[in-house]
Each structure stands twice: as structure tokens, then as C-alpha cells.
Amino acid sequence: MKISSIIDEKEKRVAITPETTSKYLKLGLEVCLPRGYGESSGFSDAEYESAGAKICSEKVPDASLYLCVKPSDLKNLHLEKGSYLISMLLPFQNAEILKKMFDNGLNLCALEKIPRITRAQSMDVLSSQSNIAGYKAVIEAMNEYGRVIPLMMTAAGTVRPAKVLILGAGVAGLQAIATAKRMGAIVSAFDVRKVAKEQVESLGATFVEVDDDDNGESIGGYAKEMSEAYKKKQAEKLAEALSRSDIVVTTAQIPGKPAPRLITKEMVENMPSGAVIVDMAAENGGNCELTVPNQKISYNQVMIIGYTDFAARVAHDASQFFAKNVFNFVSLLWKNNKIDTSDEIIQATLIK
């Protein structure tokens, strides 16, 4: 059985590293990769060949299993009929094209659909990539902010620490909190899930709490859409917090739905001059009304960053995490020298 991947010019991360290449060989699988496959992530062809991979000239080698991060052009992706594509496929946004691919004989495993159960934690690409993305988002924000982050007391005067607000305390949000704290900022965070308060405070941040009995946690631990009454109280609380925040990182998402709108134009207009907003939900509609996906814009002297590739901006480490997640998934799929889709984790990811 042959494993391969593709080179995607819009994606710096890779789904197979030299380390996981050697592991696939031990499973009895052959690894064949296009020339220059790992260069964008800092992995050379020589490293792959040393690990046992075959390097070929085809951009998309023939294979039975294709492991990818997130193909940017599914419509023009021509793979062998009967083969498996294992990747982040944005199943809600790409439902129509994925159905056509399935009807044309491709087997599709959307890694976003891996269930949130203990046994699947080692395969959770969303968590591993969100972790790195949350870190990188804070670094990007602080670089754009252009002022000192920690408290500085010098003979020339005192500089107050920056005030950082994190909206959404999932994996990305918690990593953003931890990163901002390590940099010496005063950090506060908001989440609709009441269980997040303890997690936020354990990292040394202040929890911005809405006075309401509604709990925003759905089955599976994700955030749910809130009532209109809650949203009104939330908007008032966030407007107050935003008016005194220097850096804001938003991470709020609702599975299968557009990202919740948390920051309005009016809220931005009341933020301090020179403030920075990083909207990590830009790909799914954005948490800020003014966000433009994949762009950095200035409005009323507030910089709004809508990049959708934060994890890919740390491609080497993000690739290592992603590749290990995928290897654990394939190890579950490949049993007794054949593909076995009977496991509940595999079944949950299949596009049908």
C-alpha cells in the first residue's frame, strides 16, 4: 500500500515528516512524495530519502492513501478512484464539492470531524494546530502593536504593561492567554462557557463574566449559540472591556455555523488609538464586523488582522504536530495489512 501527499502552493505545512515516514515504513506502508514536498516546512528531500521515502517527479504521485493538511483547490484535485484523502476538508463549507468527490469514487476522511473522546486525543489536529495558532496570533499582535508589552520601570520613567483581551477560551484562546502572560501583559479573557472561568484564572488572567444563568457549553464541550438576551448583556460587557484593551485576540467559533459576531464597528471606534485586533475566526466569517480575511487593515487607528494561516506561519513545528496526529489516525485505519474503517473514530470522519 502506497502513501503520498501533494504540494499545495497555498499551504506551508505538510502532513508527512521524515519522522513519520520511518513510522509508516514500520507499518508496512510505502511512502512516495513529490520532489520538494517538505521545503516550505524546512524538511529536505534528503531527509525524507534518509527516512526511507521515495522522491518522484510527479506533483501528485499515484497512491492509495493521500495525507494532506488542507487542500486549497478541491475542485481540481484529481486522485485515483478508490483512494483515500485524509485531510482537513472544511466539511461544512465544502459540503457540495465533497459530495461530488465521494460520488466519483473517492473515500474522504475529514479530520475536523474526529470525535472529542479520550481515545482520539492523539489524533486531534484541531487542538494541535489551534495551540500553535494561538501562540502565533499573540506574537503577530505584539509585533504590530509596536509598543512595550511588560511593565518597565526605569530612570527615564515607567511604561505600563499592555492590556490584552482574549475572546474565546478554547485551545487557541488558552494558549494565547499563556503566551501574553509570559510576555508580561495584563490579560483578561471572555468565554460563554462558564467552565472556562477556572481555566482562565488558572493561567493568571481575569475572567470577563456576563451576569446571566445561560451556560454556553454544548454537548461535546464546544460553544453554542446564545440567546438574544444574553447577546445584549454580552455586547455591553465586551464594549466596556474593549474600550480599555490594547491588544485583542478573538478565537470564538461555533461548529457548523458562521463565527459569532462579537466586535462591532462602534466598539472598534471606542478602542484606544494604536490598538490591535487579531481575528482568528476570519476564515469562518470573523468575530469582528470589520475583519477582511487574509488582510491587515486599519480603521480609526486600530489595526485589524484577519490572517487565516497562523499555524502555517510556524510551519515546521505545526507540521510535526499535524503529521503525528495523522500517523495515529492512519495506524487506526490500517489493520492487519489492510484498510479497516470499522472503528468509531474513522467512521465519524467519513464523508458519505
Q: Is 127 a catalytic residue?
A: yes
Catalytic one among 116, 119, 147, 160? 116
Cα 170 from Cα 124, distance rounded (Å): 14
Judge contact between 299 and 268, C-beta under 8 A.
yes
Where in 170-282 does DSSP place strands (E)?
A: 186-190, 206-208, 247-250, 276-279
Q: How many residues does the chain have?
A: 352
Would residue 293 be called left, alpha or beta, if left means φ above 0 and alpha means ψ between -120 and 50 degrees? beta
Question: Which amino acid is it at 44?
Answer: S
Torsion of CA 131, 136, 142, 148, to 10 degrees: 70
> What number of other Cβ atoms are within 10 A of residue 46's Cβ?
10
> What number of other Cβ atoms are within 10 A of residue 303's Cβ?
18
Q: Is 124 a catalytic residue?
A: yes
Cα 145 from Cα 272, distance rounded (Å): 12
Catalytic one among 83, 122, 214, 222? 222
Q: Is 121 a catalytic residue?
A: yes
**Degrees (nearest 5) of the Cα angle 65, 71, 75?**
95
Catalytic one among 8, 124, 212, 246? 124
**Degrees (nearest 5) of the Cα angle 96, 99, 100?**
90
If DSSP codes are grouped into helix, strand and coil, which group holds residue 334? Answer: strand
Cα 319 from Cα 4, distance rounded (Å): 15
Catalytic one among 44, 72, 121, 301? 121
**Degrees (nearest 5) of the Cα angle 124, 127, 133?**
140
Cα 322 from Cα 14, distance rounded (Å): 8
Pair type for strands 186-190 and 163-167: parallel
Cα 66 from Cα 293, distance rounded (Å): 28
Q: Considering only CA atoms, which of 281, 275, 246 is closest in space to residue 262?
A: 281
Q: Is 230 a catalytic residue?
A: no
For 102, residues 6+ apart whose C-beta sits below 8 A from its C-beta are: 108, 351, 352
Q: Cite the active site residues.
A: 116, 121, 124, 127, 222
